[in-house]
Chain A
Amino acid sequence: MEKEAAKQEILNFLESKSGSKTKFYFNDFTKLFPDMKARDVKKALSELVQEEKMMYWSSGSTTLYGLKGSGKKEED
């Protein structure tokens, strides 16, 4: 799959889940693309972070991905 199409599919997936869940593990995204290598999925995710469409959330030990601006902020 083309990287741009993959990026769009990731965004669609996140939008579709936005009512119930805002943060996802890396392997939630690899499941979306069973035929793609994990490293290519990572490249698509990294680009979405660079484009400020997605963001990392980290507990310090584990990292999750989400749409930028979604979910509760710790400062709140």
Chain B
Amino acid sequence: MKPLSRIAAVAGMALVGGISSAFAGDTFDAVKERGEVICGVHTGLYGFGAPDEKGNWTGLDIDMCRAVADAVFGDATKVKYVPLSAQARLTALQSGEVDILSRNTTWTLSRDTANGLNFTVTTYYDGQGFMVKKDLDLKSALELEGATICVQTGTTTEVNLADYFRANNMKFTPVTIEKYEEVTAAYLSGRCDAITSDASQLAAIRANDTPDPADHVILPEIISKEPLAPAVRHGDDQWFDIVRWSIFATMEAEEKGVTSANVEEAKKSTDPTVQRLVGATPGMGANLGLDEAWAFNIIKQVGNYGEIYERNVGMDSKLELPRGLNAMWTKGGLMYSPAFR
């Protein structure tokens, strides 16, 4: 048994590979040299970052990584995805294990400062809300006095809930459950009057888990701000600019009506902003240190923000989330790209 184990042990060590060294110094140079962007993503959150049944990563956060890969390499597939747990995500970025953290992460002051992150652009404005059964006939969360409310344990959701009720001097009974499926089941079985979670999650539950979505309403109050944004490390301004403007390019494209379908024609556009965006008028790429076709490639391969949104979380997806705050500023939302010039 012993010599057998020894040989197997040696073979086993050979099987698990060695130590890999990523980069030292400038992120952009390291990425170019490596030939791929390393992107920290969620371990599985449908619509934002999750592998599909073929093991391909899809989602809004994933598309932001693909956009950056397009800007740098002109090829959206040159991304390596590193799934990260909620606890490990900040360390992974700080330690240089990933180049971008695009993992459904809320932009907060402490993370932006003490944790050494630089948030680039908000790609999704989320917030905590309430869902109730329609036959309760509620119009506002302020009518939830004395209600029993289902909430997931160990999340900021629980804290926000308590804060909101204390601030409004109302009483409530929380039903705290650890697993998401069980929270939903508890709400549907009538153990609680209301369920609270991020509005995007509530919409997903309403669309997919309820027997009839029309029987449930999401109340208009949003009790917390959850701006979700990809982040990069402190202290590398060039990389920060590249990631941030790659995302802005998708928003500018939507505002100007440039889509993956018409981006070829957009090259002949008479609008000077569009010309600068797609590289027909050079300059923007050079400023970023990228190829002049950087934004053209993003729009061509990944699409503009509207396309990304609809495909992953909007009406073309199984989540069917309305644009709401995530519409362009020209349509009453908060999505706004600074000027392309």
A and B physically associate: no
B residues at A contact (CB < 8 Å): none
